[in-house]
């Protein structure tokens, strides 16, 4: 009887999942090119202290994105898989490599910060 009560108590205890727990397995992929002017500016955005802080807020996320130069043949598998249609391109992916969301073009720090804060907690982009 005591065991049944303990099991019931565990089953009925509300479990809260914080959005950062779900987002903890996200990664930022940044596609750019050396000849792309907006890409150069976007790298400055990623060096902004607020952006680095925002990226660190997601447990397990680096405070900088994974950089992929579209002209480097080493990055061809990533370009083939994610198919960035314009540059610069920021893609958020989960640990399995599935895309969560993406954004194109140069973003000022406040706009990129808003994009990161608005990420869906667990929705995969269709």
13, 42, 53, 102, 120 from 30: Cα distances, Å: 41, 9, 17, 10, 19
pLDDT digits (tens, 9 = 90+) for 37-68: 999 999 999 999 988 888 877 645 677 789 99
Q: Where are the domains of the chain?
A: 27-117
Phi then psi for residue 83, to 5 deg, are 45, 65
pTM: predicted TM-score of the whole model, two decimal places: 0.73
Smallest Cα–Cα separation from 118: which of 105, 104, 103, 106? 103
- Confidence category of residue 118, pLDDT binned at 50, 70, 90: confident
pLDDT for 13 beyond 50: no
pLDDT digits (tens, 9 = 90+) for 71-117: 999 999 999 999 999 999 999 998 888 999 999 999 999 999 999 88
CATH 3.40.30.10 is the classification of domain 27-117: yes
């Amino acid at each position: 009887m005591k065991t049944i009560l303990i099991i019931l108590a565990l089953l009925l205890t509300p479990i809260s999942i914080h959005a950062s727990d779900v987002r903890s397995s996200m990664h930022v992929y940044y596609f750019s090119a050396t000849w792309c002017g907006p890409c150069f500016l976007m790298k400055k955005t990623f060096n902004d202290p607020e952006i680095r802080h925002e990226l660190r807020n997601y447990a397990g996320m680096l405070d900088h994105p994974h950089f992929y130069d579209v002209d480097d043949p080493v990055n061809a598998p990533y370009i083939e898989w994610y198919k960035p249609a314009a540059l610069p391109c920021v893609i958020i992916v989960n640990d399995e490599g599935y895309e969560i969301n993406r954004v194109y073009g140069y973003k000022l720090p406040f706009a990129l910060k808003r994009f990161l804060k608005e990420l869906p907690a667990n929705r995969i982009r269709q």
